[in-house]
Amino acid sequence: MDQLTDTAGITLVCCGLIGTLVVDDGLIERSFAEAIATQGVVSGTSAFARRMSQVHRARGLSPGDVLRVLFPDNEPRAQAAQLAFDRALPGALSRTVVDPIPGVVEALAEMRADGRQICVVTSLPSRVVDLVLGAADLRGHIDLAVSGEDAPRGFPAPDLALTAVIRSGAGCVQDVAVVHGTGAGMECGRRSAARAVVGVLTGPHSAARLRGGGATHVVSSIADLPALLKGLDPDSGMVAAASDNGVTPHGRAARAAAAVVQAAVDVPAQGGRRRRLEH
């Protein structure tokens, strides 16, 4: 692979939502469980356990695509379950507490101070994005949001990241970092040719799954992201070269960034501020 010659650095950071910016406390799985229960697949049965395992593996896809995985030969049933999910998720949000990932506000502020735009990219509907950002008090810390309605296809297609590039005015996809906690999010970043595809361990998928999806880096949480991105800036001394994971860092600043990645072994405790959803 040719070394990167672009000198702009990363100017757009595309972040997932649940599991990346806010704590993933099982809200999505509970909403899917409620949705499939309307189709006669109820807790305590082998069919329920099998489908919830499929939900976990398919996290990151749009809700409609997840439900087509669950009901592959019955489109009307999948559509009925999606309608139930679309009702269940906002209802579940109204009954729960939405916690920001510890350190997220500081991380977002630091990245914006470094001249980077922050964009939420998610296959979830825009209504849910607005509810979650409001409940977590994060609206003022992002520059734009791209949701499932804003692009022809959700993850793992590159459409959401490419739509963010267009809407943000970023110079090219090489100016972008895609940050997500699912394998599908990593595939989106890889397919869009983003400069950095960063997996976070606060999402539903393991480091191995994230790397398998195309992650160039894996960190414990978004709190580690500002230091990593600084190490990737052109003036840091890092050179991108081919490796098993896609990028191998070189140079003193790069070694510092690599130390952040190598330290990402354990998922940090999910504490932090707690806010109830306001209507």
Do 168 and 52 belong together in one domain? no
H or E element, residue 207: helix 207-213
Do 112 and 233 belong together in one domain? yes
More confident position, 8 or 60: 60
271 by DSSP, 3-state: which?
A: coil
Please give the model's pTM, rounded to 2 decimal places: 0.82
Do 137 and 41 belong together in one domain? no
Do 80 and 123 belong together in one domain? no
CA angle 255, 264, 165 (to 5 degrees): 80
Which tokens is 272 given? 């932090």
Residue 109 lies in a domain: yes
| Strands 117-121 vs 275-276: parallel, antiparallel or unpaired | unpaired
Do 45 and 170 belong together in one domain? no
Residue 36 one-letter amino acid? I
Confidence of residue 237 (pLDDT cuts 50, 70, 90): low
Do 32 and 111 belong together in one domain? no
Domain count of the fold of the chain: 2
Q: Is the pLDDT of residue 266 over 50?
A: no
Residue 64 lies in a domain: yes
Distance of CA 199 to the CA centre of its chain: 8
Which tokens is 158 given? 């590159």
Structural domain of 42: 27-95
Residue 2 lies in a domain: no
Do 89 and 134 belong together in one domain? no
Q: Is the pLDDT of residue 274 over 50?
A: no
Q: Quick one: pLDDT at residue 248?
A: 35
Share of the chain above pLDDT 90, in %: 77
CATH number, domain at 151? 3.40.50.1000
DSSP conformational letter for 175: G
Q: Is the pLDDT of residue 258 over 60?
A: no
Which tokens is 25 given? 């406390």
Do 64 and 171 belong together in one domain? no
Residue 1 lies in a domain: no
Q: Is the pLDDT of residue 140 over 50?
A: yes
Burial of 72 (0-12, 13-18, 19+ CB in 10 A): exposed
pLDDT tens for residues 215-236? 999 999 999 999 999 999 887 6
Share of the chain above pLDDT 70, in %: 81
Residue 62 lies in a domain: yes
Do 129 and 35 belong together in one domain? no
Q: Is the pLDDT of residue 89 over 50?
A: yes
Do 104 and 147 belong together in one domain? yes
Do 168 and 226 belong together in one domain? yes
Q: Is the pLDDT of residue 70 over 80?
A: yes
